[in-house]
């Protein structure tokens, strides 16, 4: 018996075990229906329904590896493994991410997911079960067709790409870790250098917010000339220099659009006081894909 690891089969020979390989567990449609995807990033089937395969053992290891999750590599590799129609998950529109993850969870562990929650009325904590099929069918893409009219300009929005979302999340996480470290310093160490570092991190957060807004902007049309500005660097410069009132209005509009595509809270009745409660499901990858969760 050969003990060589990863020994490759002879060229042209079919693996007799291939009939036992994993097969699609479910099919689903993207909330975006394939809009906003860059050419080559998605191989959309004729019926617009993507096959979803259960995770392999390697996939499960990847989805629980902290470093791979933080830099996004683990998530994108597992998505491409489970949903072969997605050729480049980095370029996936943000409005499709949650639906893809829910579909993968269903394909791998079934449609029922258990979770615990504490009642805000009586503080009793109970276990509940939810049907992820209902969650999946309720996810909708926001209406990116709407335009914000600011009289002198019109702003058209778009979903971010997954790599843009991941970059912002990763940078924000690193900043928060540094901020927490600075907050633990004794008062005697709050010197000029520390204050400078805190201020610098706050400015980084502000720049990230501006980058997110620019990444969420398809174009800005100047009403007087009809010119449409789509260069992301120009748009980011605009968000960094515009007056606060206009900035807040644009940011609020973006927030309202994003809410349209957010996963709806789960409504349950407390098992103790019977009062209705709403529970928001957080997509912590390691926990969301934990076996038996």
Cβ atoms within 10 Å of 215's Cβ, excluding its own: 20
Cα separation, 7 vs 11, in Å, equals 12
Answer yes or no: is 182 within a domain. yes
Same domain for 29 and 135, yes or no, is: yes
pLDDT at residue 293 in the model? 43
Report pLDDT for 8. Answer: 66
What's the confidence (pLDDT) of residue 1?
A: 45
In a domain, 6, yes or no: no
Question: What per-residue confidence (pLDDT) applies to 291?
Answer: 56
193 and 271 co-located in one domain: no
Predicted model pTM: 0.82
Judgement on whether residues 271 and 255 belong to the same structural domain of the protein: no
Residue 83 lies in a domain: yes
In a domain, 2, yes or no: no
155 and 105 co-located in one domain: no
- Give the 3-state secondary structure of the chain: CCCCCCCCCCCCCCCCCHHHCCCCCEEECCCCCCCCCCCCCECCCCCCCEEECCCCHHHHHHCCCHHHHHCCHHHHHHHHHHCCCECCHHHCEHHHHHHHHHHHHHHHHCCEEEEEEECCCCCCEEEEEEEHHHHHHHCCCCCCCCEEECCCEEEEECCCEHHHHHHHHHHHHHHHHHHHHHHCCCHHHCCHHHHHHHHHHHHHHHHHHHHHHHHCEEEEEECCCCCEECCHHHHHHHHHHCCHHHHHHHHHHHHHHHHHCCCCCEEEECCCCCCEEEECCCCCHHHHCCCCC
| 11 found inside a domain | no
Q: Are residues 114 and 91 in the same domain?
A: yes
Domain-embedded: residue 154:
yes
The pLDDT of residue 251:
92
- Residue 53 within a domain: yes
pLDDT value for 203: 80
The predicted structure's pLDDT at residue 185: 63
Q: Containing domain of residue 229, as a range?
A: 147-260
Examine the domain organization and report whether 29 and 136 are in the same domain: yes
Q: Domain check: are 162 and 108 in the same one?
A: no
Residues 97 and 153 in one domain: no
**Which residues fall within 8 angstroms of residue 168, CB to CB, at 6 or more apart?**
208, 211, 212, 215
Residues 29 and 134 both lie in one domain: yes
* Residue 153 and residue 130 in one domain: no
Residue 292 has a pLDDT of 46
Structural domain contains residue 3: no
Tell me: do 132 and 268 sit in the same domain: yes
pLDDT by position in tens, the chain (length 293): 444 556 666 677 888 888 888 999 999 999 999 999 999 999 999 999 999 999 999 998 888 777 776 778 888 999 999 999 999 999 999 999 999 999 999 999 999 988 888 899 999 998 888 899 999 999 999 999 989 999 999 999 999 999 988 888 777 777 777 767 666 666 555 567 666 777 777 787 778 888 889 999 999 999 999 999 999 999 999 999 999 999 999 999 999 998 898 888 888 899 999 999 888 877 666 566 665 44
Q: Do 130 and 109 have their domain in common? A: yes
Are 121 and 270 within 8 A, CB to CB? yes
The total number of structural domains in the chain stands at 2
């Amino acid at each position: 018996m050969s003990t060589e690891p990863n020994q490759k089969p002879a060229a042209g020979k079919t693996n007799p075990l291939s009939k036992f390989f994993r097969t699609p567990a479910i099919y689903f449609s993207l909330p975006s229906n394939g809009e906003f995807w860059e050419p080559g990033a998605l191989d959309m089937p004729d019926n617009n329904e993507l096959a979803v395969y259960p995770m392999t053992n390697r996939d499960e290891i990847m989805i629980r590896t902290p470093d791979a999750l933080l830099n996004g590599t683990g998530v994108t590799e597992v998505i491409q493994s489970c949903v072969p129609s997605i050729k480049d998950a980095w370029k996936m529109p943000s409005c499709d991410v949650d639906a893809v993850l829910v579909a993968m969870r269903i394909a791998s562990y079934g449609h029922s997911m258990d979770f615990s929650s504490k009642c805000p009325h009586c503080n009793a904590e109970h276990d509940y079960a939810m049907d992820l099929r209902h969650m999946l069918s309720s996810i909708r893409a926001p209406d990116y067709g709407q335009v914000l009219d600011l009289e002198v300009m019109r702003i058209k929005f778009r979903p971010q790409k997954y790599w843009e979302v991941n970059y912002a999340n990763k940078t924000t996480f690193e900043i928060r870790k540094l901020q927490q470290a600075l907050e633990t310093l004794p008062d005697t160490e709050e010197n000029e250098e520390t204050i400078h570092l805190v201020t610098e991190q706050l400015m980084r957060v502000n720049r990230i917010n501006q980058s997110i807004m620019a990444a969420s902007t398809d174009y800005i049309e100047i009403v007087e000339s009809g010119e449409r500005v789509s260069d992301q660097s120009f748009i980011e410069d605009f968000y960094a220099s515009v007056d606060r009132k206009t900035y807040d209005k644009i940011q609020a509009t973006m927030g309202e659009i994003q809410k349209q595509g957010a996963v709806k809270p789960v409504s349950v009745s407390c098992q103790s006081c019977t009062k209705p409660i709403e529970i928001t499901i957080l997509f912590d990858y390691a926990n969301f894909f934990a076996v038996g969760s």
